[in-house]
Chains A and B, each alone.
Chain A
Amino acid sequence: MRAIASAATRRGVRVGLSSAGRDGEALDAVDFAAKPRLFLSPETLIATARNLLPAHPASEIVDISEWQTAAGEVIFARVRQAAFYELAGPPKASELRACIERLGGYGAELVIVDGAIDRTAALAGGNDAVIVAIGADAAPTIDAVALEARALVGRLGLQRYDPDGPVVKVDRVLDEAAAEALIANGEQRQVVVRDPTQIAIAGKAFIRIAAKLHLRCERSLNVIAATVASIGHERRFEPQDLLQTVADATQLPVFDIYAAAAA
């Protein structure tokens, strides 16, 4: 998010930022690791929890939402003086969707939301782009990481179903057991889920099942790129190898932000 926001700001694009979790804090909320704070330039629009807005320098308060977080309601604000900010956006997918639209309405030309995969449902069916981030901790070898990335991109990038063709709609999460049952029944119709986040199958299992079923969705996601981190908590990979292998596996532009490399 930082890299995209920073590049967009340098090009004079008005940026809107929020988070499907929490971002910008000095210590990670999950593992308490120190991390860089989020330094924002004037004119950046943000959607964040009321109690996370810094008292100084004052921000322009653009609007107050009805969405509640653990740190107070979500506030739309504009940065007037460059400073460090923390972001915590609305907790529900439907609220996040509305939040993105409101940031656009307040003048953001590019809205960037950082968050976990299970929150991307909010983006389904819109004009949004998804950038997946994958790192060395995802699997023990470069090939295995690339396979995980390929499966993830394949899952998130499910095509929209053909309404003129035969379909079987799945109204709940499609897990491996349910998918295997469909395969065992010789299912040839399009298997349609609401959006790609409704498929709870990852890695090799997804690739195998996707080869046997016509998996489709009602509201699709637009995956446009991936980022890789070659150094994890448990292992590190040769950066260029990881970059190229993930690019080959996903057929997407892939970026290593730390190494300033692309494939």
Chain B
Amino acid sequence: MRRSFRFLIYMRLQLRRDDVQLVELLRFFETIEKRGVRLGKGARELAALLDRGVSRQGFYLADSFDATLAQARHELRSRDAEYAKLRDALAQRVARKFGREIESDEFIVPRATYDKMQGVRVIEEQPTYLLCTLELDEPASDALKKREAAARAVGEAEDRVRAAIADAIANRRPELQLLAEALGESSKVSQWIR
């Protein structure tokens, strides 16, 4: 019930729950203040919440938004490093045999040269080339599964933070609407907050 209510609020506010929209909201507050309009309590709280994500050059869903997000990212970095170590060792082995660098998890091998390659799995065949990935051994495969689980956990934690911010926006909608009216049509926020 709560989830569907929240969805309706998002729909009404046209909240896309992407981080670009949060940058638009921060700029909206800046413009309001430049025009000498004082932000009310609710808007100031929202601005303070978003300030946690203000970075050197822009906005990032930073670790400071939520302890579980920070923890999930820390876990992902560890799992990433473990996987990268095992994957790089395999990639170097294949690269030595093939005489070319394996730069990414997905790479192209010309058909004519594929039969020389060992430790490579074909993802998709094309007339002129094969889209390949490294054949992972058991330790690397396990490390990849753990890395993917950690990445999913980061995704879920990021979504929880976005949902909390969206709730905070929705709860201050009347005040934001008044500010949007003061600013007029020039702001993108004015268009999605109505």
Contact = CB atoms under 8 A, between A and B. Distances in A.
Interface in B126-183: 126-129, 131, 151, 154-155, 158-159
Interface centre among A3, A53, A56, A82 (most CB of B within 10 A): A56
A55 B23 contact: no
A259 B103 CA distance: 14
B61 interface: yes
A55 B20 CA distance: 11
> Chain B's interface: helix, strand, loop or mixed, by majority?
mixed
Interface in A97-141: 106-107
Given A36-B131, A233-B128, A260 B101 contact: yes
A30 interface: no
A258 B24 contact: no
Nearest to A80: B60
A236 B59 CA distance: 48
Contact of B106 (A36, A58, A81): A36
Contacts of A82: 80
A241 to B, nearest CB: 14
B55 interface: yes
B36 interface: no
Nearest to B124: A34
Given A231-B110, A260-B99, A260-B100, A61 B151 contact: no
B172 to A, nearest CB: 21
Contacts of B113: 258-259
> Chain A's interface: helix, strand, loop or mixed, by majority?
loop
A50 interface: yes
A37 interface: yes
A35 B104 contact: no
B24 A39 contact: no
Contact of A35 (B24, B76, B108): B108
Contact of A61 (B58, B103, B110): B58
20 contacts: A33-B126, A36-B106, A37-B104, A39-B104, A39-B106, A55-B18, A55-B155, A56-B155, A57-B76, A60-B60, A61-B22, A61-B60, A63-B58, A64-B20, A230-B110, A231-B128, A231-B129, A232-B128, A258-B100, A258-B110
Given A36-B106, A36-B107, A60-B59, 13 more contacts: A2-B104, A34-B123, A50-B20, A53-B18, A57-B151, A61-B23, A61-B58, A64-B24, A78-B58, A232-B128, A258-B113, A258-B129, A259-B110
